Amino acid sequence: MDYHIKELMACRLSRELLDGEAVGVGANFPIARAATLLAYYQHGPNIKVTMGAFRVNLENADQAMNMAFFSDFRPVRWAESAMNFSTQMYSFHKLDTFFISGIQIDAHGNTNLIGIRRDDGSFKFRGPGSIGTTTLAAVARRYYIIAEHHNPRVFVEQCNVVSAMGFGDGTPGLREELNLPGAGPKLCVTPLGIFDFTPDTHRMRLHSLHPGITLNQVNENTGFRVEIPDNIIETDPPTARELKTLRSRVDPNGELR
Amino acid sequence: MDYHIKELMACRLSRELLDGEAVGVGANFPIARAATLLAYYQHGPNIKVTMGAFRVNLENADQAMNMAFFSDFRPVRWAESAMNFSTQMYSFHKLDTFFISGIQIDAHGNTNLIGIRRDDGSFKFRGPGSIGTTTLAAVARRYYIIAEHHNPRVFVEQCNVVSAMGFGDGTPGLREELNLPGAGPKLCVTPLGIFDFTPDTHRMRLHSLHPGITLNQVNENTGFRVEIPDNIIETDPPTARELKTLRSRVDPNGELR
Amino acid sequence: MKRTNVIADESAALDVITDGMTIALGGFITAQHATGLIRGLARRRVKDLTVIGSVSSSLEVDFLISCGCIKKLVTAYVGAESAAPMGPFFKQAAENDSIQIWECDEIIIMAMLQATMAGIPFYPVRGGLGTDLPQLNPDLVPFKDPIRNENLLAVPAMKIDVALTHASIADCYGNVQYDGNPYADEMIQKAADQTITSVEKIVPPEFIRRDPFKTVYTADMVVRMPFGAHPFSSQGAYIEDTAHLNEYVMAAYMATKGDDVSWETYRKRYIDEPEDHLSYLEQVGVKSLLSLHEY
Amino acid sequence: MKRTNVIADESAALDVITDGMTIALGGFITAQHATGLIRGLARRRVKDLTVIGSVSSSLEVDFLISCGCIKKLVTAYVGAESAAPMGPFFKQAAENDSIQIWECDEIIIMAMLQATMAGIPFYPVRGGLGTDLPQLNPDLVPFKDPIRNENLLAVPAMKIDVALTHASIADCYGNVQYDGNPYADEMIQKAADQTITSVEKIVPPEFIRRDPFKTVYTADMVVRMPFGAHPFSSQGAYIEDTAHLNEYVMAAYMATKGDDVSWETYRKRYIDEPEDHLSYLEQVGVKSLLSLHEY
């Protein structure tokens, strides 16, 4: 069956989400939104789905809508509650998971949304800002890094600025030492493959290659040495059922294609 | 003109409140409520009046109602907003004033709502608890102590337990040293007179005697040495206009009589 | 797969709460307590509870004390204002040292809830410095703030197993709305690991979705309990039953003075013998219940 | 004596904000900014402002930067999501070091607001430890909590002179209600010394009192500004004007690349030449405005 790589990424991620989990998704993050909605329709009717600041019930929604803006009011049609920033922003440690991206992603799962500095500390390149990621990465039970582009500019040995801590410099037990309640990044999902982190020094390790992708492609496109396991497996491609739900209910406008 | 002593206390207190001030009043505290409503009707249309958790507009209310219970729902008829505990309980430092009472009130304006202990620390007499007074006394810009009964059991040299700090042991600058933002108790209002605090060691000092009350009565009924100024003035009795508003709009059921 | 329906019956809800747990009660003084559920705990004589009493609490805490349910009490007040300056059994227990009291005021208890719901070890407050609270409650720790070096009091977070709240309506997915003031219930719910909410009425999800901004939180378990706050008020539904409050206070007061007769009668009739909330309401009677209108 | 009517006209409201003040903006990313008032500040070229930008902010902060109004910026994001990953002038100013940026994420900014509204010197958070934020923003001070000795970051309070928010309705006494989500506006209002709120519509006090629980806060000054959030959305009234956002982003982007023509045209037409909000709306045009419906 034919599919786009972003569809594969969304399907693969959706299998990570368990029924009943509280999942945070920002706006303008189509792969994360699709993964969450797909999990909700496929196996997670109790997944706590949010669209913008609304918790929604999409049971009877034939089609979800795109969220070009977090504050789009129109999901109110499915909303059963709305996030009260004055009390709820403090409860992010109750999130089971969320998704993060970065202008840089490093070998230990740290991410950078702030920018790249010159030696004198001034910004050569300024990014958009941390949004909620600094805290979420510290407190959410686990999270997933999503990279829409896999290249050596994004995948660097060490982020120039760390705006959200993954595993720091990889020192065993560092998150516990800093009293960060969350377990940190679980996987990194890119157009080339799925990566996890070694249990000891938390270095990024290939978990599976997407169909048709070679180990060479991964090595060439990563700005650091990726840990390679003995057995390299292939990412399970989307099933027919997944693709059908994805295209009919989750992403009818083909944002992922 | 004939009036009850509690009416005098309410009228005298009402003159302390300025237009536009934010005033906190608990339930079941008739003198404080009457003073606030009277000030609102007499000279303070912008006084922020609350009834229970409601901020009310009583402009067109012929008669206010008694508040036997803080959570009485019926003032909703006049409410323009309701206190959101999850965000507003933190803003008590924005209160201009509130009213406090105690099972003990001491020479330095400290109050006790917790109880009286034996030497071994156990409670001989347990009071109702601090409610919101511990924090309010620390942070409200100023406050007033109201005693419905003036006797040596209530007025003691030193509270057995301090649940709300007035001026501690009277050390000059103690509140500033503890970084308490509020100025502390301004007056103590009792059935015998009005008391303020000396500027240096913050000891309770007679400010005025109610009509017909003697200095002797004050001394006999106070469990500590009250500071006495050179000139003892008489408390201004309620005016005819005050009494009329009080009896017709504020306290039509005569709770204060 | 279907989304889970969280409506539970009374006894299933009560089964959640076991000896030794820490529970937080919603409502405020004489309003909006989950009295029906709390009465169930008293009837079952659940033991050794740490009870966080609604910021300022009322006689629901008092009868829990009388029934021997409370080991440690966290509250700023126990009473019923004009109907009773203090809970009689609370007073007695405090004077006998038969319960531990975590001394605080309302803002300190809210600070504890805020720290707990935010997942931080403590929340800093100003109130309490210069008072005897830190001596009475060694959990309150004076410290200097790391930025301006000011004096503050650190109020620690607490692990809360279950929140018990009472609201106006909820749907089968646990979305809870109030016709009145939720007081501190939102914080209480967010601070607790699990929330059980009794409601006046269960409504279809479509009714909740008419105004999603009114949803205060999502409960883990919802129990239908009309008049569930009685003898306290449930805003938008009924006012306090002052006669019943007085009956309670008189009986409890006499018991603390050594005369148990009225209290035994009260306890049997209203707490022990009714097998559930509806049987309790039967004891109160339709005429009493329907006299508690608000106009 | 009569109660004060707090309705003010646009220019009286703008007069409140003077060079060097600290102002906090309400709304969230592409919704509910008091854009009309903020545009007025840009037109007046108010200088040296410290701007606290709505937790996460958008192009209203970007044009303030372009007009030289901002000295220091407190925000977790400047952009318009799918319409612009970043504000062009923000990016340029950050890269030129022409504004100070108080680096934070959304929860850190909320922690600052919480500390400020609670009147405490700081609020403790967990996020930021192990990142470069404390290095980029020395106001964030790592410390050990006084109870469990855990690592935390102290976020200081800030003195905020004026909050500028945009809501659906208000009455002449400043009681403000939202048809949608107030986002962090309640905290922003409580943290500021004074609040000016623009509203889609002014209603009689009786309308506000129909549902007092919907009142989010009481503003010190209310300005009638229909379409006051444009080109952002005002919930329950109109959605984002994506075409206008794109027009802005394109012009601003070109300007940061050295080609000022489009931006000069934009700035004259929409910021500098309209003498007030209604004249701005005239430039946008009725057809554009009325196309921003939500269905």
Closest-CA distance, A53 to chain B, in angstroms, reads: 18
pLDDT band for position B1 (cuts 50, 70, 90): low
Tokens of A227: 């840990």
Which of A80, A87, A93 comes nearest C187 by C-beta? A87
% of chain A beyond a pLDDT of 90? 88
Provide the pLDDT for residue D40: 98
User: Could you tell me which chain A residue has the CA closest to the CA of D236?
Assistant: A73
Give the H/E segment covering residue A115: strand A115-117
CATH 3.40.190.10 assigned to A5-250: no
% of chain B beyond a pLDDT of 90? 88
Dist CA C252 CA C90 (whole Å): 10
- Three-state SS across C128-163? CCCCCHHHHCCCCEEEECCCCCCEEEEEECCCEEEE
Provide the pLDDT for residue B252: 92
Dist CA B14 CA B241 (whole Å): 13
Dist CA B3 CA B11 (whole Å): 11
Q: Which residues in chain A have their CB less than 8 angstroms from residue B90's CB? A: none
User: What b/e sequence results for C137-152 when a residue is b if at least 16 CB atoms lie within 10 Å of its CB, and e otherwise?
Assistant: bebbbebebbbeebeb
Q: What's the DSSP call for residue D268?
A: I
Q: Do A235 and A208 contact (CB within 8 A), yes or no?
A: yes
User: Could you tell me which chain C residue has the CA closest to the CA of A89?
Assistant: C118
Angle between helix C242-256 and C88-96 (nearest 10):
30
Which of C190, C208, C218 comes nearest A87 by C-beta? C190
Average pLDDT over residues B50-72: 88
User: Could you tell me which chain B residue has the CA closest to the CA of D119?
Assistant: B93
Would an 8 Å CB–CB cutoff place D130 in contact with chain A? yes
Closest CA to A223 of A149, A114, A134, A125: A149
Dist CA B152 CA D49 (whole Å): 58
Give CATH superfamily name and number for D10-103+159-290.
Glutaconate Coenzyme A-transferase (3.40.1080.10)
Per-chain mean pLDDT for chain C: 97
* E-only strand ranges, chain B: 23-24, 50-51, 54-56, 79-82, 97-100, 104-106, 111-112, 115-117, 123-126, 142-146, 155-156, 185-189, 193-197, 204-209, 233-234
Give the B window 49-88 contacts with A, CB below 8 Å.
Answer: 84, 86-87
Provide the pLDDT for residue A66: 78
In this complex, do A168 and D80 lie within 8 Å of one another by their Cβ atoms?
A: no
Pairing between strand C221-224 and C192-202?
parallel
DSSP symbols for B31-55: HHHHHHHHHHHHT-TTSB-EETTEE
Closest-CA distance, C117 to chain A, in angstroms, reads: 6
Residue B68: partners with Cβ closer than 8 Å, 6 or more residues away: B27, B28, C81, C82, C83, C242
State the virtual CA torsion across D42, D46, D52, D56 in degrees, nearest 10. 10
Closest-CA distance, A71 to chain C, in angstroms, reads: 14
Q: Which residues in chain D have their CB less than 8 angstroms from residue C148's CB? A: 121-122, 156
Would an 8 Å CB–CB cutoff place D180 in contact with chain C? yes
Would an 8 Å CB–CB cutoff place C191 in contact with chain B? no
Which of C3, C117, C212 comes nearest A45 by C-beta? C3
Burial class (CB in 10 A: 0-12, 13-18, 19+), A241: exposed
Q: Which residues in chain B have their CB less than 8 angstroms from residue D212's CB? A: 54-55, 76, 79-82
Q: Select the residue from D106, D112, D153, D244 to test the A interface by mutation, using most A Cβ atoms within 10 A.
A: D106
Give the D window 108-127 contacts with C, CB below 8 Å.
Answer: 119-126
Provide the pLDDT for residue B88: 73
Give the D window 214-243 contacts with B, CB below 8 Å.
Answer: 215, 217-218
Q: Do D134 and D92 contact (CB within 8 A), yes or no?
A: no
pLDDT band for position C294 (cuts 50, 70, 90): confident
Residue showing tokens 């840990």: A227
Provide the pLDDT for residue D188: 96
Closest CA to D145 of C150, A89, C146, A94: C146
Dist CA C81 CA C64 (whole Å): 19
Dist CA C163 CA C174 (whole Å): 14
Q: pLDDT tens-digit profile of A83-126? A: 988 887 678 889 999 999 999 999 999 999 999 999 999 999 99
The helix/strand/coil state of B105 is strand
Pairing between strand A97-100 and A142-146?
parallel
Residue D284: partners with Cβ closer than 8 Å, 6 or more residues away: D227, D230, D231, D241, D244, D270
Q: What angle do CA A38, A43, A48 make, to 5 degrees?
A: 70
In this complex, do C145 and D181 lie within 8 Å of one another by their Cβ atoms?
A: no
The count of other CB atoms within 10 Å of the CB of residue B94 is: 16
Provide the pLDDT for residue B26: 80
Dist CA A49 CA A17 (whole Å): 11
Give the C window 135-174 contacts with A, CB below 8 Å.
Answer: 171, 173
Strand order in the sheet with D151-156: D122-125, D151-156, D141-144
Contacts of C among chains (3+ CB pairs under 8 A): A, B, D
Give the H/E segment covering residue D119: none
Q: Select the residue from D110, D137, D140, D145 to test the C interface by mutation, using most C Cβ atoms within 10 A.
A: D145
Dist CA C235 CA C256 (whole Å): 32
Q: pLDDT tens-digit profile of D103-148? A: 999 999 999 999 999 999 999 999 999 999 999 999 999 999 999 9
Q: Select the residue from B86, B88, B89, B90 to test the A interface by mutation, using most A Cβ atoms within 10 A.
A: B86
Q: What's the DSSP call for residue B57?
A: -
Closest-CA distance, C265 to chain D, in angstroms, reads: 41
In this complex, do D122 and C181 lie within 8 Å of one another by their Cβ atoms?
A: no
Average pLDDT over residues B39-60: 94
Dist CA D270 CA D267 (whole Å): 5
**Max Cα–Cα distance, chain A, nearest Å:** 56
The count of other CB atoms within 10 Å of the CB of residue D172 is: 16
User: What b/e sequence results for C171-204 when a residue is b if at least 16 CB atoms lie within 10 Å of its CB, and e otherwise?
Assistant: bbbbbbbbbbbbbbbbbbbbbbeebbbbbbeebe
Q: Cis (ω within 30 of 0) for the bond into C231?
A: yes
Q: Which residues in chain B have their CB less than 8 angstroms from residue A86's CB? A: 84, 86-87
Whether residue C207 is predicted with pLDDT greater than 80 in this model: the reply is yes
How many residue contacts between A and C have a Cβ separation below 8 Å? Answer: 60
Dist CA B244 CA B132 (whole Å): 33
Residue A148: partners with Cβ closer than 8 Å, 6 or more residues away: A6, A31, A101, A191
User: Could you tell me which chain D residue has the CA closest to the CA of C156?
Assistant: D147
In this complex, do D212 and B82 lie within 8 Å of one another by their Cβ atoms?
A: yes
User: Could you tell me which chain B residue has the CA closest to the CA of C188?
Assistant: B86
Contacts of A among chains (3+ CB pairs under 8 A): B, C, D
Q: Which residues in chain C have their CB less than 8 angstroms from residue A90's CB? A: 114, 117-119, 190
Tokens of D125: 């958070």
Closest CA to B95 of B155, B32, B172: B32
Whether residue B64 is predicted with pLDDT greater than 90 in this model: the reply is no
User: Could you tell me which chain A residue has the CA closest to the CA of C115?
Assistant: A90
Provide the pLDDT for residue A21: 97
Provide the pLDDT for residue B151: 98
Dist CA C137 CA D101 (whole Å): 42
Whether residue D295 is predicted with pLDDT greater than 80 in this model: the reply is no
- The single-letter code of the amino acid at D124 is P
Half-sphere exposure in the Cβ direction for A197 (13 Å, CA)? 27
Has this prediction a pTM greater than 0.95? yes
Closest-CA distance, A249 to chain D, in angstroms, reads: 19
pLDDT band for position A1 (cuts 50, 70, 90): low
Whether residue B118 is predicted with pLDDT greater than 80 in this model: the reply is yes
Provide the pLDDT for residue C177: 98
**Max Cα–Cα distance, chain C, nearest Å:** 61
pLDDT band for position D254 (cuts 50, 70, 90): very high
Q: Cis (ω within 30 of 0) for the bond into A252?
A: no
% of chain D beyond a pLDDT of 70? 100
Dist CA D30 CA D87 (whole Å): 12
Q: Which residues in chain D have their CB less than 8 angstroms from residue C128's CB? A: none
Closest CA to C2 of A19, A15, A13: A19
The count of other CB atoms within 10 Å of the CB of residue A225 is: 11
* E-only strand ranges, D22-157: 22-25, 49-53, 70-75, 100-103, 122-125, 127-130, 141-144, 151-156
Long-range contacts (CB closer than 8 Å, 24 or more residues apart) made by B119-127: B122/C95, B122/C97, B123/C94, B123/C95, B123/C97, B124/C95, B125/C95, B126/C86, B126/C90, B126/C91, B126/C94, B126/C95, B127/B103, B127/B163, B127/C86
Tokens of A96: 């089971």
Number of residues written out for chain C: 295
% of chain C beyond a pLDDT of 70? 100
Q: pLDDT tens-digit profile of D153-180? A: 999 999 999 999 999 999 999 999 999 9
Domain ranges of chain D: 10-103+159-290, 124-156
Which of B54-63, B81-90, C277-286 is the most confident on average? Answer: C277-286
Would an 8 Å CB–CB cutoff place C56 in contact with chain B? yes
Q: Select the residue from C59, C62, C105, C168 to test the B interface by mutation, using most B Cβ atoms within 10 A.
A: C105
Dist CA B10 CA A140 (whole Å): 54
Q: Do C248 and C65 contact (CB within 8 A), yes or no?
A: no
Would an 8 Å CB–CB cutoff place B216 in contact with chain A? no
ipTM of the predicted structure? 0.96
Q: Which residues in chain A have their CB less than 8 angstroms from residue D55's CB? A: 85
Cα B8 to its chain centre, rounded Å, is 14
Closest-CA distance, A48 to chain D, in angstroms, reads: 19
Q: pLDDT tens-digit profile of B151-160? A: 999 999 999 9
Closest-CA distance, A61 to chain C, in angstroms, reads: 13
Which of B54, B80, B181 comes nearest D119 by C-beta? B181
Q: Do D54 and D109 contact (CB within 8 A), yes or no?
A: no
Tokens of C166: 């009472």
pLDDT band for position B107 (cuts 50, 70, 90): very high
Cα C284 to its chain centre, rounded Å, is 21
